[in-house]
Each structure stands twice: as C-alpha cells, then as structure tokens.
Chains A and B, each alone.
Chain A
C-alpha cells in the first residue's frame, strides 16, 4: 500500500469510474425511497419524451395520466374510476393466483391459459344452460365449472412435474396455446357469422348482478375477499409454511417430512383454481363475451406484479394499482395528443423499465471511485 503515497505509480493503477457493492439488509425506508424515486424519475422521463413528440407542457401530460385513470369533471358517473378499479381487481386476482406457485419456485407461465380456460368454461355454461336454468343457479354452475377448468389446467403440469420431473415452464406455456385453440373452436361453434368473438348478444344469461347499480362492484368485492384469504393462507397456515419450505429447498422439505409431490400438486390446484375464478369474473362479471385475447396478457403481467411485491398479497394491491393506473393513464395520453396507440405501450415500457431497474439499486450500492477513496479505506 506504499504506492498510495507515490503519485506516479498511482496513475498507472487506473480504477474504474464506479464500482458496485451488495447492500446488506436494506431498511424499509430506504427501499421505499428508492422505489418512489424510480417512479418519479420514470414520470419525468415520460414527460420529456412526450414533450419532444407533442410539444405540450409536461404538467398537462401528468394531468392527462391522472384523468385517464380516475376521470375528469365530465365523468359524473365515475365511469373511469370504476373501470380502473375493475381492471385492478382482475389483474390482482390473477397475481394472487400465481403467487403460491411462484413462492414454491414453480415457474407457472401458464396463468394466461388457466384464466382463458376459466373464461371458456364460464362461457360454455352461459351458452348451453343460459335460459334453461335460473340465473342464480347458473352462476353457481359457472363458478364450479370455471374453478374445475382452472384446476385441471394447473394440476396437469404439476402432476407431470411432481412425478416425472418435466419442465413446468414449457409445459404451462404450451397449455396456454391449447386453451387459446379451444376458445377459437368454441367461437366457431357458438357464432356462425365468423366473427372472432362471442358477444353479450349471444351470452345473454348468467351475468353477475349489479350491486348498488355498479356492475363492477361484485367483482371488486370478490377479489378483496380473495386477497385476504390468500394473505392468511400464505402467512398463517401450515400449507403456506410448507409452500415456503418447498420453495427454499426441496431436500429440506423432504427431510422434515413434507410430501413435496403433494404440496406441488395442491399448490398448483389452488393457483389454477384462482385463475379460473379470474376467468369467471372476466366473462360473467365484466365483459359477458369471450375472445381468445380476453386475458390480454394479464397472465404474464401478473408474474411481474407478484415478483415486484415480493409475493406479499398486500403489497400486490399497490403494484397492481401502479401498473393499471399508469397503463390507463398512458393510453389516455396517446389518445388525447393524437399519437399512435403504440405510444402508450412506449410510456408503460419506460415506467416498467425504471421500476424493475430500481430493484437493482435496492440490492446493490453504486459508488463513485474518488481519488482519495482508497486512502480512506486504508486508514479505516
């Protein structure tokens, strides 16, 4: 370390401009601060991009994002707020559904298909039994059918994984395509005009009732209950504990006498069943229609929501809100400023990039290497 005191040699040992160290335990406060900073930065960056493309002032862009998600003075019926809440409910439901599996380190990329097969089961019930059985009974049948369909789509890959060690990522992914094709088949059978959707004019029965005149309220309440149940299940039950143990180490789980195969299948049954319920809500509660893009990629977005929230159901409420509000807001920006609809995807992409990127800064600390930095370390 004598070199430190001789300037000539110091020049030769060049250090990089910055270096990265792993942070220890990060306090809740720091983590929250970094995340808030990332969101603010992403909004500023989106503002700059929008100004460059539209020449409008940045404040109006943020107001537009807000109005896009929550409505403005014209919107006396709070239609936008309800639509946003409804979107949050669906995405949250799917995120909750994928969480137990991910906590168990079971890479379920098939939530999309599990939701879609739930949609399909619901739609088939509405199509074949609508008008034949009374609506309350029909809704009950729809519930059972959608859950069973979701469970089947979840358990199949889990069963193969548990007994023959197949790759669950590929298996669940493939099941998505099977579900999509089954829906396409149903569309051909149910609507002979050849359109790519079966709409509310055909699925006339089995609609969820509107509570207090709000057609989305029942969906939102159901998801609120599911959130609480999943939270309790994961945090305060023996099953939840088993899931964490299997996730941490299968060998440990086996050692302490957990039946790993049983846990894998049981957990995927729960995941699939919850996805099935999300499908039920989408068809019976929201759209009264079915198309192969009804899930709209939310089965994949849910994976991100779940990871960002560190598999904590309560945190997921926040991450879902964030994603949905930003998505609806940026759609409104591109519509209001007359930009191509792809522009909203660009904005959402930027924001996600910042949010996911900030996780790096929570895990690691970036330090600039100052000239006297090494000396200080030596002195210490």
Chain B
C-alpha cells in the first residue's frame, strides 16, 4: 500500500514539474508577475534560415569525418549543422555519409580514403589533429575536395583541393563577454561585490591561440562594459574531460571568481557553476536545460553556411576558397537565447547594439588604440608578429596589427591571437 501511495505521489510531482517546464519554455513569462521566472529571451543572433536555389545532382556525395559523436558538444555542433544542410538540399542517405569517432591519427586518412572509395565529391573533417591526414589524402586523391575545420595549413600547402575554414567566433565571444560584464555591473551595483572583486574565471583546454583568442575576446567584451574586471584562467590539458573541467571550475571559484566561462567541451564547468550558484557563460550551445539558474548565454559557430558554401561552389563548378572565415554577416557566428532570469537588465539591447556595430565595421574586438583596454605590461600594443604561415616551424612572421587593431582571422581563418594581456592571469599552462 505504501508503495502505491508513493508512486502516486511521484506521478503527481512529475505532472506538476512537466507543467512548470511547459510554462517556462513557452511564452518566456511575458506578462507574469515579478516573482515568476522570466525564462529565455529570443536569440539576438540566431541561426539564419537556410535557403538555396541550387539543385544538387543525384550522383553528388558528401562525406563527414567527426572526432567523436553527438555526445560531445563540439561534435554535436557540427552534426546539427550537417543535418540541416542535408535537409536543405534534400540529400539522401546515400549522398550524405557520416563517420564518427575518427581519431586524430592514421584512422582519419583511412576514413578519408574510404569515403573516396564510396564516391564522395567533398570530404569534411572537423578536428584540428585531422589536418596532416586530410592534407595527405588531398594529395593522394586530387579529384576530390577536402575541407577541414580549424586547420592552419591550406593557405600555404599548395594543394588546390585542400581547404581550411573557421569562423570569427572571437566576435561571438566578445558579445557573450558583454553579457558577463553587465552581470558583474549588476553585482557591483547591488553591493554584492566591490569593483575590484569583479574577477571572472575561465576554464580553457590548452594554451593554444584558438583558446587564448577566445578567452581574450570574452574578457574584452566584459571589460567594454565593466572596466575593473580581471580574469583568472585554468587550463585542463584536455578538450573533453568532465572531471578535470569541473575541478578547474571549482578551483577558480575557490580563488574568488564570481562568474565562469569555458572553452572545453564537457558539462564539467557549467555543472560546477550550477551547483555553486555562480553565473556561467557557455560555449558551443545552450546549457540552459541542465543549468537553468546560472546559464546566461552561449556563443557558437554555426557551420551550416560553410557546408552550404562548399556544396554550392562544387556543384556550380566554382573554386572553394583555400581559407574561409565566416562571420556575423554569413551567419557563422551565432548566440543562443539569453536566460533573462540570470542576465542583467538591458543585456539583450547591449548585445544587439554591438552586433550592429560589428556589421557596420565600426567595432573591432582587438582594438589597440583604446585607452585602458589592451595592454601588455602596462604598454599599448603597436606591433605584433604572429605565426600565421604554419610550416611547423613556430616562426612568427606576419604583422598582425593593422589599422589600429589586431586583425584576427584576416590572414588565416584559424585564430592566431596568442598574447596574454594585462588583466588576464594564467594560473597554469598546458601545451
């Protein structure tokens, strides 16, 4: 009898919680009293709706090589984009082949060769470490187009059928940083922290340019609205390790960080924030479902525009660019919905203003002319040589500061901003 009552009660509780979820997800609580949850805003920078006027021939085939499967947020972001492209062009299962769990070793070459064997016209791989093997496959199979995300070698490889791509995600990070900075301002105004205690924490994977560029643009976004902010960075040395990322987040919290963001692929850091009740700015996708009380916003790369671009270029017989970097205009940089229950008032409007400035070209993330913005050892940056041409030589050869700003992703799609600026403190390094 006891069990029956218990199960009845459970059912009742579940019904109520379902109803509550529906209510929250629905209208965003627009007309409710102030005690109710406000839920999510609309995304200020959503994924654009895809349209095409290109018809794909029946014998066209595209193959994808993914490092993990949809259980990794990084790979899921690619898989979602690939599926949307499949739908856009009405590709059949025969024309659209995915290989998941392909390691960054010779398995990548074998997967690429196998996709060639299946008659693929374009082969795409999504992880940095796939690059040497994709490049080798491109040399061995010159009739097939090889496209690789996050790579660095296409613009110097002299292999016309090999291409790199990235997105100017530093702009998305900057926008997410604005949301973080406004949250800090709210805390300062409410007297919860002093301006000097506005310390953010950042969980990074490795001390690579890709991570440093992202965390710096996030920091600068926050600093653009909250000048006193500083940031501590803890690196895990792994792209996906839930326990390590959780530990890193906890370490940062114990050092007095009042807001956390991350560039690593697991739920470790957002989960730790939800437990501690500390606001979190996410990456690669919304973590609202798991962390409704701390999630503010997430920036992500939308790969669909690139996939559309390579397929349409191939079908129209046009050359695919050796190095392609999508921005806000192309729809490659997107933001999720903003959690109005956590974000400070006015966040949506502030982000929208910055988006307009990016579109107009009046705002630059790495603007070295502004006072008290980007300094190294107290001095402004006037010149910086970056390692843009990747011959595995680690020679920094290209002047990156042009027209008063660090021109990230202009000479090569993959990020190369790797300077640790004042206000950011690396607690450790992982190469």
Instruction: Tell me the count of chain A residues lying within 8 A, CB to CB, of chain B.
Output: 32
B105/A293 in contact, CB under 8 A: yes
B431/A197 in contact, CB under 8 A: no
A335/B392 in contact, CB under 8 A: no
Enumerate chain B residues within 8 angstroms of A286, measured Cβ to Cβ. 106
Enumerate chain B residues within 8 angstroms of A340, measured Cβ to Cβ. 69, 100
Binary contact readout B206-248 vs A (1 if CB under 8 angstroms, 0 otherwise): 1010000000000000000000000000000000000000000
Report if A199 contacts B (CB, 8 A).
Answer: yes
Given A287-B109, A294-B106: A200 in contact with B133 (beta carbons within 8 A): yes
B91-99, B188-196, B353-361, B398-406: which one contacts chain A?
B91-99
Enumerate chain A residues within 8 angstroms of B129, measured Cβ to Cβ. 195-197
Enumerate chain A residues within 8 angstroms of B206, measured Cβ to Cβ. 194
Enumerate chain A residues within 8 angstroms of B135, measured Cβ to Cβ. 200-201
B69/A335 in contact, CB under 8 A: no
A196/B105 in contact, CB under 8 A: yes
B104/A196 in contact, CB under 8 A: yes
Report if A320 contacts B (CB, 8 A).
Answer: no
A80/B132 in contact, CB under 8 A: no
A70-78, A163-171, A237-245: which one contacts chain B?
A70-78
Report if B313 contacts A (CB, 8 A).
Answer: no
In the complex, A338 Cα to B232 Cα: how many Å?
Answer: 42
Binary contact readout A184-213 vs B (1 if CB under 8 angstroms, 0 otherwise): 000000011111110111100000000000
In the complex, A288 Cα to B18 Cα: how many Å?
Answer: 55
A75/B103 in contact, CB under 8 A: no
B97/A335 in contact, CB under 8 A: yes
In the complex, A252 Cα to B351 Cα: how many Å?
Answer: 85
B105/A193 in contact, CB under 8 A: no
Q: Which of B110, B132, B208, B392 is A83 in contact with, Cβ under 8 Å?
A: B110
Report if B2 contacts A (CB, 8 A).
Answer: no
Given A194-B208, A202-B132, A289-B132: A341 in contact with B101 (beta carbons within 8 A): yes
Report if B275 contacts A (CB, 8 A).
Answer: no
A338/B133 in contact, CB under 8 A: no
- Min CB gap A60→B, angstroms: 12
A interface majority secondary structure: loop
Report if A291 contacts B (CB, 8 A).
Answer: yes
Nearest chain-A residue to B103 (Cβ)? Answer: A293
Report if B136 contacts A (CB, 8 A).
Answer: yes
Given A291-B105, A335-B99: A194 in contact with B431 (beta carbons within 8 A): yes
Enumerate chain B residues within 8 angstroms of A194, measured Cβ to Cβ. 206, 208, 430-431
In the complex, A200 Cα to B69 Cα: how many Å?
Answer: 26
Enumerate chain B residues within 8 angstroms of A192, measured Cβ to Cβ. 394, 431
Enumerate chain A residues within 8 angstroms of B110, measured Cβ to Cβ. 83
Enumerate chain A residues within 8 angstroms of B113, measured Cβ to Cβ. 79, 83
In the complex, A142 Cα to B104 Cα: how many Å?
Answer: 24
Enumerate chain A residues within 8 angstroms of B153, measured Cβ to Cβ. 201
In the complex, A193 Cα to B153 Cα: how many Å?
Answer: 13
Enumerate chain A residues within 8 angstroms of B93, measured Cβ to Cβ. 336, 338
Enumerate chain A residues within 8 angstroms of B431, measured Cβ to Cβ. 192, 194
Enumerate chain A residues within 8 angstroms of B97, measured Cβ to Cβ. 335
A288/B104 in contact, CB under 8 A: no
Report if B128 contacts A (CB, 8 A).
Answer: yes
Q: Which of B98, B117, B119, B430 is A335 in contact with, Cβ under 8 Å?
A: B98
A291/B106 in contact, CB under 8 A: yes
Report if B36 contacts A (CB, 8 A).
Answer: no
In the complex, A193 Cα to B69 Cα: how many Å?
Answer: 24
In the complex, A72 Cα to B106 Cα: how many Å?
Answer: 23
Instruction: Tell me the count of chain B residues lying within 8 A, CB to CB, of chain A.
Output: 34
Enumerate chain A residues within 8 angstroms of B118, measured Cβ to Cβ. 72, 74-75
Nearest chain-B residue to A71 (Cβ)? Answer: B117
Binary contact readout B308-327 vs A (1 if CB under 8 angstroms, 0 otherwise): 00000000000000000000
| 377-416 of chain B: CB within 8 A of chain A | 392, 394
Enumerate chain B residues within 8 angstroms of A199, measured Cβ to Cβ. 105, 131-133, 136
Q: Which of B103, B117, B128, B392 is A201 in contact with, Cβ under 8 Å?
A: B392
Report if B87 contacts A (CB, 8 A).
Answer: no
Enumerate chain B residues within 8 angstroms of A72, measured Cβ to Cβ. 118
In the complex, A174 Cα to B329 Cα: how many Å?
Answer: 56
- Min CB gap B129→A, angstroms: 5
Given A286-B106, A288-B136, A291-B106: A202 in contact with B392 (beta carbons within 8 A): yes
- Min CB gap A284→B, angstroms: 13
B132/A201 in contact, CB under 8 A: yes
In the complex, A194 Cα to B113 Cα: how many Å?
Answer: 25
A195/B106 in contact, CB under 8 A: no
In the complex, A333 Cα to B113 Cα: how many Å?
Answer: 17
Report if B149 contacts A (CB, 8 A).
Answer: no
Nearest chain-B residue to A79 (Cβ)? Answer: B117
A287/B106 in contact, CB under 8 A: yes
Most chain A Cβ neighbours within 10 Å, of B97, B103, B106, B140: B106
Enumerate chain A residues within 8 angstroms of B100, measured Cβ to Cβ. 340-341
Enumerate chain A residues within 8 angstroms of B140, measured Cβ to Cβ. 215
In the complex, A26 Cα to B361 Cα: how many Å?
Answer: 83
Report if B330 contacts A (CB, 8 A).
Answer: no
B104/A195 in contact, CB under 8 A: yes
Nearest chain-B residue to A197 (Cβ)? Answer: B105
Report if B345 contacts A (CB, 8 A).
Answer: no
Report if B114 contacts A (CB, 8 A).
Answer: yes
Binary contact readout A278-300 vs B (1 if CB under 8 angstroms, 0 otherwise): 00000000111101011000000
Q: 23 A-B residue contacts at CB 8 Å?
A: A72-B118, A74-B118, A74-B119, A75-B117, A75-B119, A83-B114, A83-B117, A192-B394, A194-B208, A196-B105, A197-B106, A200-B133, A201-B131, A201-B153, A287-B105, A289-B105, A289-B106, A291-B103, A291-B105, A294-B105, A335-B97, A336-B93, A341-B69
Q: A200-B136, A294-B106 are in contact. List 5 more A-B contacts (CB 8 A).
A: A199-B136, A201-B392, A288-B136, A289-B133, A341-B101
